[in-house]
Amino acid sequence: MCHRSPTLKTSSLAVLLFCGSGLLAGSTATAAQTPPAAAAADSLDARIARVQAALAAGSGRPADAIRELTAILAIDPKRADAHLLLGMAYRMTGSAEMNGEARAELVQALDLDPDLVPARFLLAQLYLDLGRPAGARDTLTAGLAQHPGQPQMATLLAEAERQLGHPERAMELARQALQADPSLLQARYYLALALVDAGRRDDAIRELEAVAAAGGNPADTNLALGNAYLDAGRLEAATAALGKAVAADPARADSHLALARAYRLRRLPDRARAQLALAKPAVPAIGIAHNPLEAEFYMELGLLDLQQGRLTTAAGAFQRVLEIDPGNEAAARHLEEARRRLRAGSRPPGGGRR
Amino acid sequence: MTLHRALPLALLLVPALAPLQPAQGPATAVPGPLFTDVTASAHIEFVHQSGASADKVMVETFGSGVAWLDADGDGFMDLYFVNGAPGAPNAFYRNNRNGTFTDVTTEAGVAAAGGRAYKTGVAVADYDGDGRPDLYVTAFGPNLLFHNNGDHTFTDVTAAAGVAGGADEWSTSSGFFDFDGDGDLDLFVANYVDYRLADNPYCGLRKEGYRMYCNPTPFDGTADRLFRNNGDGTFTDVSRQAGIANPAGKGLGVAFCDIDRDGDTDVYVANDLVRNFLYRNNGDGTFTDIAYAAGVGFDSNGKPQAGMGVDCADLDGNGFPDIFVTNFADELNALYINRGDGTFDDASAMPGLKSGYPALGFGIKLFDADNDGDLDIYVTNGHVIDNIQLYRPGFSHAQRDLLYENTGGKFRDITDLAGAALRTPRIGRGLAVADFDNDGDLDVVMSSLGERPVLLRNDTTPRRNWLEIKAEGRSKNTAGLGATVRLRTAAGVQTREINNVASYLSASDVRLHFGLADAPAAARIEITWPRGATQVLTDIPANQLLIVREP
């Protein structure tokens, strides 16, 4: 049975592409319809179909798919469907360093078969993950020219437009997608994000609650919902939602960071610090844009230290934020506060050193 | 059918133009190659300008190439340096035949200082078959083709030839070869990423002094280009129909070799952080990328590497060209050993090559540095992040070169033994080799980012025997590019190709060089010309430049 996710993280890509979404036109879809058992001869079509089925079912390891697909491409390097699946398999490794190769494979797939809509869709998703919404917009616009009104591409385009700073356009696109397919949770999720950006927090919460209730991707949905609750000052609801987000994907630093923030605001410093320990960002690779989470991590650490009266370490954390982001006015303000309290030898009201 | 002909009339044996050094006989102690920095004494005063800015425009850090060419046909290799920054002139140095050079850029008309392009690489070949080598300069912006007029001047013929490429393309390494076997030279141009000056992302910490050059991951690749020579001074872009226009490519290095020894030239493209390409020439005007099948696209873990420079030549003496790719710091340089059956073994982790791991390699040449009869490996290094020490203590922008001696198919790092010049850190980029003083050994020139280039004279002693071959083709391919030469001595057979395209952004001496070790002569030389004729020469005495005309 097909299950639609509100977001397009790697694990859901296969589901999305292989579950009658309308994106199945093209050679990949044709191959998908070939039952592996029917492929008696070990033809390339049969081998591709087996890989495709495994990826769609979530069975087997991406590494196995990569090995098989590269073997297939060694025989016929012009198989667009194999390039598409290879790009997908690289994505499913979850390795950021393979994103470049994933994109390369998708680009090759499209170059060989410009009508291969799933490749265009995955490529747009990659652009979004790489922080290049303009690339996603261009790719999706081209896809929509081929398949006007296709709701999932319209949905992703909504997110691209939101990231480009056009929440109204994003809402319009998401609503168009929902009109075409009201069950599209992902469109509702992106609509909610656009509502947040447009300053309509309460409307956004309603949409996110609906997505969460429908069983949409709990990691993304609950993170967004938890953040919205935090913004609304609904700390207990935020803690609950963020707890679900963390449980759904314990590897995500942004969820731990948000949960730490919720605990700090509820004055539960030990729990906050435990979450922060799980949120520490990895050392960024050389030559990339800096991970914005790193500044957020140090800001949260500083605020927690400040709350607990650890003024020296708080000042150090705020300084670290300013090293990463010299224009961060909040960090500068908090740093000044920490220094002022250090000078005054003050203790935090209601707090104390452990 | 292979032709075996004795063609004495087509063969000219010409003594080397500089006084020959006699062979010293069998060496008992072998100190290995020795290079001396003669940049200053050779009067090379060019200083590269990268255009480095606080904005960390990516192209600033990729440097520029260098080329050897005998522009005036006097038998001595002249030097051409590409500059980087927009408006900064390239430099052309005439070889004075006495170990010095004279800057003749202005009179030659090859400064290429106009426009707003960042210039990158250079290729050399006689594209119009008039017997004189021409220059092709690549750029982030329109590329340039300079026709050699034969009177010490060049003319920019880019527009008429139709080889400028895309106005906003970032072209890198390039080279001429006869891909379709029609007798004239076509042009392959590697392109890097789709980069816009106006859309230059901020990478690194937002702290003063910490901004760094971005890696290519955020940017789209761009297709390479293949221009077919129309035979009338113009070219046609046949990239797509030839099958080399893969838009995923982020090409930096290009090398030509007949990988499968089927008589036509194949193309290897080193890409940055996406897999490399190996285009097998199908012999019908098209190519097939066989990197997956050959096992030369990724590292041994199946991951793409940050390919920079590349050369291919027969390192292990099995007659098939191997491939060496320079990569990023914290990556091994890649050595793919050609098994001769269309597949390669990844020998990158060979113990003798591990010193390349912390270095960021660019220019690379496989050549016989000590004339002992096998090919050694020279790599010039330099980080792309100029403030790398802020992020990775212990790393540095300037890095030392690496020289590996071939010891029977295994390698030994002999950098420390090869002269003080090799121990001097530099921000190495382009690299090319030539016997610029015609003394029978190959010298090295390297471009250094934002600095003076380095000319290293090969002063290896004891001197061993050698042979150099200058091919003269009968078609418009006047240098015989793509010919395969098999030279036999008692020690075995050396297989080489006439080909000046490899390394990074650079072009080397088109004359073929063989070290003969102690052999006083080549017992047999077999030349297979690009158009199929095979020529056999026997008992050719060592220590001379042999001019061989295509039958």
> What ipTM was estimated for this complex?
0.86
Instruction: Find the radius of gyration of the CA atoms of chain A.
Output: 23
Contact A107 B303 (CB under 8 A): no
Contact A287 B293 (CB under 8 A): no
Q: Which two tokens stand for residue A337?
A: 């506060």
Residue A163 DSSP SS3: helix
Q: Express each pLDDT in B285-344 by its tens digit.
A: 999 999 999 999 999 988 999 999 999 999 999 999 999 999 999 999 999 999 999 999
- How confident is residue A284, by pLDDT bands cut at 50, 70 and 90? low
Which contacts (CB < 8 Å, 24+ apart) does range B178-182 have?
B178/B265, B178/B475, B178/B477, B178/B481, B178/B482, B178/B530, B179/B226, B179/B228, B179/B242, B179/B264, B179/B265, B179/B267, B179/B281, B179/B285, B179/B287, B180/B228, B180/B285, B181/B264, B181/B283, B181/B530, B181/B531, B182/B229, B182/B231
Residue B267 DSSP SS3: strand
Q: Tell whether the model's pLDDT for residue B450 goes beyond 60.
A: yes
Q: Which two tokens stand for residue B259?
A: 């990988």
- A45 inside 8 A of chain B by CB: no
Task: Please report, for chain A, how many H helices and E strands are present, in that order.
Answer: 19, 0
Query: Average of pLDDT values for B21-30?
Result: 40
Contact A17, A107 (CB under 8 A): no
Record the pTM: 0.89
Residue linked to tokens 């979530």: A58
CA gap A210, A232 in Å, rounded: 18
Residue B1 burial class via C-beta count within 10 angstroms: exposed 0-12, middle 13-18, buried 19 and up = exposed
Q: Tell whether the model's pLDDT for residue A179 goes beyond 80.
A: yes
Residue among B202, B246, B388 whose CB faces A108 most closely? B246
User: Which residues lie below 8 Å from residue B484, measured CB to CB, with a gap of 6+?
Assistant: B258, B261, B495, B496, B497, B498, B527, B528
Query: Average of pLDDT values for B352-375?
Result: 97
DSSP codes joined into one string, B428-450 = EEEEEEE-TT-SSS-EEEEEETT
pLDDT of residue A347: 56
Contact A74 B292 (CB under 8 A): yes
pLDDT of residue A348: 55
* Closest of B274, B272, B212, B193 to residue B61, by C-alpha: B212
DSSP codes joined into one string, B523-536 = EEEEEE-TTS-EEE
- A313 inside 8 A of chain B by CB: no
Chain A residue with minimum CA distance to B304: A101
Residue linked to tokens 């939101």: A162
CA gap B318, B91 in Å, rounded: 40
CA gap B352, B369 in Å, rounded: 17
Contact B214 A97 (CB under 8 A): no
pLDDT above 70 coverage of chain A, percent: 85
Contact A12, A51 (CB under 8 A): no
Candidate from A178-187, B14-23, B61-70, B415-424 with smallest mean pLDDT: B14-23
* Closest of B296, B234, B231, B237 to residue B270, by C-alpha: B296
CA gap B90, A32 in Å, rounded: 56
Omega before B462 within 30 of 0, i.e. cis: yes
CA gap B167, B333 in Å, rounded: 33
CA gap B79, A251 in Å, rounded: 56
**HSE-CB for A337 with a 13 A CA cutoff:** 18
Q: Tell whether the model's pLDDT for residue B78 goes beyond 50.
A: yes
**Helix A80-92 with A99-112: angle, nearest 10 deg:** 160
Q: Name the interface residues of B facing A (CB cutoff 8 Å).
A: 201-208, 210, 212-218, 220-221, 245-249, 273-275, 288-293, 302-304, 384-385, 388, 391-392
Q: How far is A98 from chain B (nearest CA, A)?
A: 7
Q: How far is A183 from chain B (nearest CA, A)?
A: 33
Query: Average of pLDDT values for A260-279?
Result: 97
- Averaged pLDDT score across all residues of chain B: 93
Q: Express each pLDDT in B238-265 by its tens digit.
A: 999 999 999 999 999 999 999 999 999 9
CA gap A282, A263 in Å, rounded: 23
Chain B residue with minimum CA distance to A93: B303
Residue B180 DSSP SS3: coil
Give first-to-last CA distance, chain A, whole Å.
53
Q: How far is A214 from chain B (nearest CA, A)?
A: 35
Query: Angle at Cα B328 formed by Cα B322 and Cα B330, nearest 5°?
Result: 105
